[in-house]
Amino acid sequence: MKDISRFKNIKCFIFDVDGVLTDGSLLVTEEGELLRRMNVRDGQAIKYALETGFDVAIITKGASRGVRKRLEILGITHLYDAVIDKRIAIQDLKNELKVDKTKCLYMGDDIPDLAVRDEVSIFTCPRDASPQVVDVADYIAISQGGHGCVREVIEKTMRAQELWPLIL
């Protein structure tokens, strides 16, 4: 997306977890515990966004105590996990925040994320998203899932709104 004007309206970031905040890999321990890895720079950008007054939400089909704890540490209060229908979750979030789709950016990486395409102004994905998602994305990050793609869209948005340097 060459036209950054749409990023100037964004007030709410909505992210999937697996394949976006993580690289989509699972490490399975001998005890059967599932471990994920998240990028600290993505976490720092989320903190910047929250400190600047943006809403940040997570909508994921998965459910993990570890993921929930990490996101709560970052300050995310809008966490929808074990979601069956992401479209309904986004509609609920927009009603709760009293925000319309023109203010919302979503980042997802796989087929379940396609359901929310029409619920947001900017539908984004990591570089390594599934081909079906890449085909319809408004913006494709340079970074892969779990490797800074969240920071990339947050920074792009905050720079478009001349807010990124204010943090530094």
* 46-66 pLDDT, tens digit each: 999 999 999 999 998 888 887
CA 64, 155, 87, 73 torsion: positive or negative?
positive
Domain CATH code at residue 123:
3.40.50.1000
For the chain, what is the domain count? 1
Query: In the chain, pLDDT over 90 holds for what percent of residues?
Result: 76
Mean pLDDT of the chain: 91
Return d(Cα 119, Cα 97) in angstroms, integer: 14
Classify residue 146 as left (phi > 0), alpha (psi -120 to 50) or beta. left
Specify whether the CB–CB gap between 124 and 154 falls below 8 A: no
Exposed, middle or buried: residue 20 (CB in 10 Å: 0-12, 13-18, 19+)?
A: buried
Q: What's the pLDDT score for residue 65?
A: 84
Strand order in the sheet with 139-140: 78-80, 55-59, 12-15, 104-107, 122-125, 139-140
Q: Tell me which residue of 149, 146, 152 sits closest to 70, measured CA to CA.
A: 146
Report field, pTM of the whole predicted structure over 0.85: yes
Specify whether the CB–CB gap between 120 and 136 falls below 8 A: no
Q: Element (H or E) spanning 168, and its range?
A: none
DSSP string of 115-145? GGGGGSSEEEE-TTS-HHHHHH-SEE-SSPT
Range of the domain at 25: 4-167
- Confidence band of 5 (pLDDT split at 50, 70, 90): confident
pLDDT of 6 > 90? The answer is no
Return d(Cα 55, Cα 10) in angstroms, integer: 10
* 83-138 pLDDT, tens digit each: 999 999 999 999 999 999 999 999 999 999 999 999 999 999 999 999 999 999 99
